[in-house]
C-alpha cells in the first residue's frame, strides 16, 4: 500500500471511530468536508515514511499519529480561511467550510478537529503510554505556543513580526512534528529527523510564494497573486523569482541530504523529490524562464536580514 493510500485509509477509519454516534449531523458533515476534500496528505505521509524507516513496530499508533497531524492541519485551514483571516472562498478547488456551512459552524468545525486529533491518539495510544505522552507533547509543540501554527497565525495579529520566525511557526512547525512523530511512534529518537521537517517546511513556504506569482486558480485551488495585492512579504519579493526558485531547489536538496542513513533512505528521498515536482513543477519554472529571457525577468528586492518585517493579516502559507 502506498503512503498516501495508507494515510487516507487511516483517516477514514479514525474519523468515523472518533465521530461516533450522535454527533450533530451538520457539524459532522462540515468536519468531513474539511478533511476529505483532496488534500495531498504530505504531513501524514512524512510521519508514515519516517516510521517505516524506524521499524514501525506499532503501526496502529503510527497511523493515529499521522491522522492527528492531518486533523490539526485541516483545522488550521478551516480557521485560516474564515473572514476574520483570509476570507477565502476556495480551498483545494472546493468551497471553504464557512462558505458552505456558515461562520459559526466553521469555527466549531476547526475546534472539533483539534479535539478529534487528541481523541484519535488517546483511543490507540494507551497500549504505549510513554510513546503516547511523547506524541502528544510533540503535536502540542507543533500546534500551540510559543512556536506552533497557532503562534504563527497569531503573529498576523501583531503590528510587527520577524518574518523568519513567523514562517517557521506557521508553516514549518507541523512539518517538524510530522517527521518527529514517525520516529516517536516507533520508539526511536526524533532528533535525527528534525532537519528533514525543518527544510521541507521552509521549502513549502518558498513554494507557496513562487506559486502565488506563477500559478493559477485552477491548479492551486485557491486565489493567486495575493502577495502583490496585499503587499505581503515573500521569498519571491525578497529574492526575485529566479532567486526564490534557486532557494527552493537548495532547500529540497538539503532535505534529501538530511535524511539519516537507513533502509528506507531512497524511498524518503523519492518522496521529497516527487513533492518538489508537485509544488514547483519544472515545466512551470521553464515557462517562466523562457518568458524572462524576453525581458520580463523579475528583479530582486533587497531586504535586511535582521530587520523586523510587518506581516499582513491575510498572509498565506502552503497547505
Can you give the CATH number for the domain in which 118 is found? 1.10.600.10
161 by DSSP, 3-state: which? strand
pLDDT at residue 317, rounded to an integer:
43
In the chain, % of residues over pLDDT 70: 85
Structural domain contains residue 103: yes
Find the mean pLDDT for residues 268-286.
Answer: 87
Q: Is residue 318 part of a domain?
A: no
On whether residue 302 sits in a domain, the answer given is no
Q: Is residue 315 part of a domain?
A: no
- Does pLDDT of 302 surpass 50? no
Q: Is the pTM of this model over 0.75?
A: yes
Residues 233, 84: Cα–Cα separation, whole Å = 20
Q: Quote the number of domains for the chain.
A: 1
Q: Which pLDDT score, from 0 to 100, does residue 206 have? A: 86
Mean pLDDT to the nearest integer, 284-310: 57
Within-domain flag for 227: yes
Decide which of 42 and 263 is more confident.
Answer: 42
Q: In terms of Cα–Cα distance, which of 269, 279, 259, 258 is closest to 203?
A: 279
Cα–Cα nearest to 73, from 207, 174, 184, 193: 174
Domain that includes residue 181, residue range: 3-292
Q: Is 102 within the bounds of a domain?
A: yes
Q: What is the DSSP letter of 155?
A: G
Residue at 257 is within a domain: yes
**Cell numbers at residue 125, please?**
495510544
Please determine, for residue 42, whether its predicted confidence score (pLDDT) is greater than 70: yes
Please say whether the beta carbons of 150 and 177 come within 8 A: no
Whether 298 maps to a domain, the answer reads: no
Amino acid at each position: 500500500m502506498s503512503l498516501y493510500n495508507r494515510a487516507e485509509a487511516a483517516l477514514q477509519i479514525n474519523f468515523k471511530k472518533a465521530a461516533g454516534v450522535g454527533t450533530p449531523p451538520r457539524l459532522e458533515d462540515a468536519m468531513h468536508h474539511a478533511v476529505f476534500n483532496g488534500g495531498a496528505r504530505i504531513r501524514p505521509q512524512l510521519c508514515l515514511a519516517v516510521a517505516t524507516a524506524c521499524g514501525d513496530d506499532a503501526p496502529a499508533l503510527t497511523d493515529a499519529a499521522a491522522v492527528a497531524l492531518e486533523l490539526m492541519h485541516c483545522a488550521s485551514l478551516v480557521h485560516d480561511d474564515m473572514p476574520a483571516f483570509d476570507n477565502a472562498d476556495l480551498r483545494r478547488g472546493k468551497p471553504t467550510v464557512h462558505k458552505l456551512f456558515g461562520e459559526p459552524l466553521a469555527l466549531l468545525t476547526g475546534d472539533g478537529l483539534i479535539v478529534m486529533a487528541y481523541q484519535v491518539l488517546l483511543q490507540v495510544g494507551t497500549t504505549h503510554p510513554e510513546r503516547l505522552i511523547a506524541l502528544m507533547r510533540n503535536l502540542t509543540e507543533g500546534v500551540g505556543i510559543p512556536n506552533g501554527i497557532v503562534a504563527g497565525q497569531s503573529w498576523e495579529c501583531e503590528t510587527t513580526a520577524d518574518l523568519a520566525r513567523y514562517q517557521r511557526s506557521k508553516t514549518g512547525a507541523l512539518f517538524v512534528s510530522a517527521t518527529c512523530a514517525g520516529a516517536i511512534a516507533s520508539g526511536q529518537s526524533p532528533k535525527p529527523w528534525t532537519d528533514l521537517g525543518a527544510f521541507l517546511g521552509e521549502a513549502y513556504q518558498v513554494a507557496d510564494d513562487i506559486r502565488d506569482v506563477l500559478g493559477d486558480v485552477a491548479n492551486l485551488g485557491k486565489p493567486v497573486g495575493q502577495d502583490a495585492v496585499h503587499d505581503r512579504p515573500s521569498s519571491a519579493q525578497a529574492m526575485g523569482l529566479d532567486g526564490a526558485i534557486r532557494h527552493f531547489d537548495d532547500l529540497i536538496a538539503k532535505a534529501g541530504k538530511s535524511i539519516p542513513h537507513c533502509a528506507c533512505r531512497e524511498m524518503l528521498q523519492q518522496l521529497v523529490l516527487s513533492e518538489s515536482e508537485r509544488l514547483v513543477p519544472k515545466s512551470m519554472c521553464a515557462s517562466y524562464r523562457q518568458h524572462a529571457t524576453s525581458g520580463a525577468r523579475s528583479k530582486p528586492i533587497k531586504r535586511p536580514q535582521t530587520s523586523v518585517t510587518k506581516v499582513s493579516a491575510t498572509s498565506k502559507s502552503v497547505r
